[in-house]
Amino acid sequence: MSANGLVQIDGLPPIKKEDRKQSKVMLLFPPEWVPTAPYLALPSLTAVLRGAGHAVIQRDINIEMYDHFFSMDFLIWLKARLGMQLKELQDKEKAGVITEQEADQKLVVERANAVDVFDLADRAEDAKRIVRGERFYDADKLEWALNTFREVMQYISAAYYPASLVFYPMESNLGYRPGVSKEVFACLDDEQVNVYRDICNQLVLPSVAKERPDVVGLSIGTQMQLLAGLTFCKMIKETFPDVHVVVGGNVITRLQEELPHHERFFKEVFDSAILYEGEHALLWLIEALNGQRDIATVPNLMYRDAAGQVQQNKEVYTEKTTALPLPDFDGLPLDHYFVPERIIPYLATRGCYWGRCTFCDHGQGYFDQYRGMTAQLVVEQVKALRDKYQCRHFLFSDESYPPALFKKVSQLLVDQNVGVKWTTLIRFEETLQDQAIWDLAAKAGCCTLYYGMESANERVLNLMDKHAKKSVIQNNLQSAAKAGIWNHVMAFYGFPGETREEALETRQFVLDNQPVIHSVELFYFVAYRHTPMVRNPEKFGITIHKQEEYDLPLDYYYTLNEPVGISCLDAMQLCEEFYKNDFQPWAVRVNAREHVFLYISRFGTNKLPQIYAQRQTVGVSDSVSGLVTWPVAHSEGDEGMARVTSHEVG
């Protein structure tokens, strides 16, 4: 039994095959996520539901939205929206009742209205052909396509003023804070800025009307998806009151303590929420809705009972990874992602084998800790996915690939001549100092690796409970680079207690090792709410500041108890200075993880001068500059193994 009274169980007894009632289920993945590969949550859920005989329609609305955005039909429709807005603003100006904000909006709309929308749409359509075809591998053409997408997003933003809609990185801002419930509810009904209302009307509701599912499930993995996902839920629930709407995903799990205090979510937005892992919990919920189980027995479930009270079942079920079926991608538009070759995510482990980093809360998506498959099963499943979907590029979406599995899987991939290319996130380890290990991984198809270095100072690393040695970090980077693997390093300034000199040691390490660090992200420390640090702030010499209005928090503002080390604001400033003064060697024109992955796969080398910017003014928030945010995880219940660049500082 956990501290909050939850109890882990082995599962519920299966319904006999002859007694099963079939349901139709629609699963939706909302924006915003990278449009380069499917997310693993829906295929994992689909495999279990279809295995039990249910009909499943899975829709990646994220890629459908971007495909729709960059189309002639949508942009012509948007032109009409801009025209109506302009007329209304002009009428207000003539009547002398226009506000200052409306006057600003009028200037933005006028500029957008002057754009040749047919030329813009033609270029957007060609940009899609570039990212999906052979011209992708011409870096100049790819950069042109990505900048065209950004230009279109600026045009779209004008129609949803003052929203800022961004193609890449995922930093769109509707002007509402997702950590404040009253702003979340206001956003869901805001037809001016909430672009996702139009996306729902144009892409989601017609599909629900056509398919008439019994259940609609939405997987909300990241905070960037929260407003879109909840918008879809509310509009589906309003339009189709007989459809059961259920939400799940990492963000929902992280908010489980707050949701019961906001009954309005269960009254107006969705009917139930699944916490932690969802494959069998969703199956058992469907059986309960069919009258074959008591809903109070369904593990991982939060719901509103007949009396209108929000209930959370105390039983928690964790999936048995070796018993789960192969993820089922059937029905997803695998050839519509913004890449010229299919890329499929695959997860061999759940949780993190290290699981000790004091700043990390990724494990919050799981009730217990690390579980994994054998190397032989991993390779068998990769081969099965390769053959079924004619795909030779894989995202190994594990939070941190275990060293033993890394070595064994590499050996089996070589021995069995599997012929795939892959990328993953890995930890710096003393057991990986033999050059032969990295040579084998490269031979097995490993193209790019992502490392959470965090700091180059060993005292700070020990405070973080990472316990990596500087010499090991350097050895791993040099060995991987020598083998031809692309190294992406992530670090941050401002871990509580870190001095300015120690922070600058990280900066200098990155600069000194630039030849073997091919791309880099440097952030500032954020106090995520479910980390050991926030649970025990006095141990780390910090005070957590909670603000009443932030009633859906995922992180907190903090201050140091003693003037030892750099403050949060100091860390932000150091981060800004790094991108202003030092980032030039890493400024790339091709700034998606999957795009770099495919370039290395095609050209067979980690030396890719053509993808780096020649002349660039780099700023932390300049999305055209080549600043990479590299969301690197595509697994259910995982927000992304890299820290994001924008946070609530509440």
- Residues for the chain: how many in total? 650
Count of CB atoms situated within 10 Å of the CB of 269:
24
Q: DSSP letters along 414-460, please? A: HHTT---EEEEEE---GGG--HHHHHHHHHTTEEEEEEEEE-S-HHH
> What pTM was estimated for this model as a whole?
0.93
Residue 4 CB partners (closer than 8 Å, separation 6+): none
Question: Comparing 149-158, 208-217, 482-491, 619-628, which segment has the lowest mean pLDDT?
Answer: 619-628
Residue 194 has pLDDT above 80, yes or no: yes
Segments of 30-142 assigned E as strands: 55-60
Radius of gyration of the chain (CA): 24
- What distance in Å separates the CA atoms of residue 287 and residue 12, rounded to the nearest whole number? 11
Query: 627 pLDDT band (50/70/90 cuts)?
Result: very low
Count of CB atoms situated within 10 Å of the CB of 415:
10
Nearest to 227 by CA among 259, 269, 267, 280: 269
Nearest to 363 by CA among 641, 632, 558, 644: 641
CA dihedral 394, 395, 396, 399 (to 10 degrees): 180
514 in Cβ contact with 477 (< 8 Å):
no
- What distance in Å separates the CA atoms of residue 604 and residue 618, rounded to the nearest whole number? 28
pLDDT at site 618? 38
Residue 471 has pLDDT above 70, yes or no: yes
What tens digit of pLDDT does each residue of 549-584 get?
999 999 999 999 998 899 999 999 999 999 999 999
Sole residue written with tokens 């909670």: 546
* Rounded average pLDDT over 617-637: 34
100-113 and 139-159 are packed helices; what angle lies between their axes, rounded to 10 degrees?
Answer: 140
What tens digit of pLDDT does each residue of 410-420 get?
999 999 999 99
Average pLDDT, the chain: 92
Segments of 465-511 assigned E as strands: 486-493
Domains of the chain: 7-62+181-321 (3.40.50.280), 66-159 (no CATH), 341-575 (3.20.20.70)
- Write out the two tokens for 241: 């009151």
Residue 546 has pLDDT above 80, yes or no: yes
Count of CB atoms situated within 10 Å of the CB of 387:
9
Q: Which residue has the higher pLDDT, 306 or 450?
A: 450
Give the helix/strand (H/E) hosting 349: strand 349-350
Query: 299 pLDDT band (50/70/90 cuts)?
Result: very high
pLDDT at site 3? 53
pLDDT at site 362? 75
419 in Cβ contact with 381 (< 8 Å):
no
pLDDT at site 170? 80
* Rounded average pLDDT over 288-313: 95
- Write out the two tokens for 579: 């991108």
pLDDT at site 630? 30
Residue 131 has pLDDT above 80, yes or no: yes
Sole residue written with tokens 């928030």: 621
**Angle at the Cα of 550 (from 548 to 553), degrees rounded to 5?**
130
What tens digit of pLDDT does each residue of 212-256 get?
999 999 999 999 999 999 999 999 999 999 999 999 999 999 999
- What distance in Å separates the CA atoms of residue 223 and residue 68, rounded to the nearest whole number? 23
- What distance in Å separates the CA atoms of residue 284 and residue 12, rounded to the nearest whole number? 8
Percent of the chain surpassing pLDDT 90? 87
What tens digit of pLDDT does each residue of 358-372 get?
999 876 777 777 899
629 in Cβ contact with 169 (< 8 Å):
yes
* Rounded average pLDDT over 449-467: 96
Query: 1 pLDDT band (50/70/90 cuts)?
Result: low
Q: What are phi and psi of 55, to 5 degrees?
A: -85, 130
- What distance in Å separates the CA atoms of residue 499 and residue 368, rounded to the nearest whole number? 34
Q: In what order do the strands lie in the sheet with 555-560?
A: 527-528, 555-560, 542-545
Residue 444 has pLDDT above 60, yes or no: yes
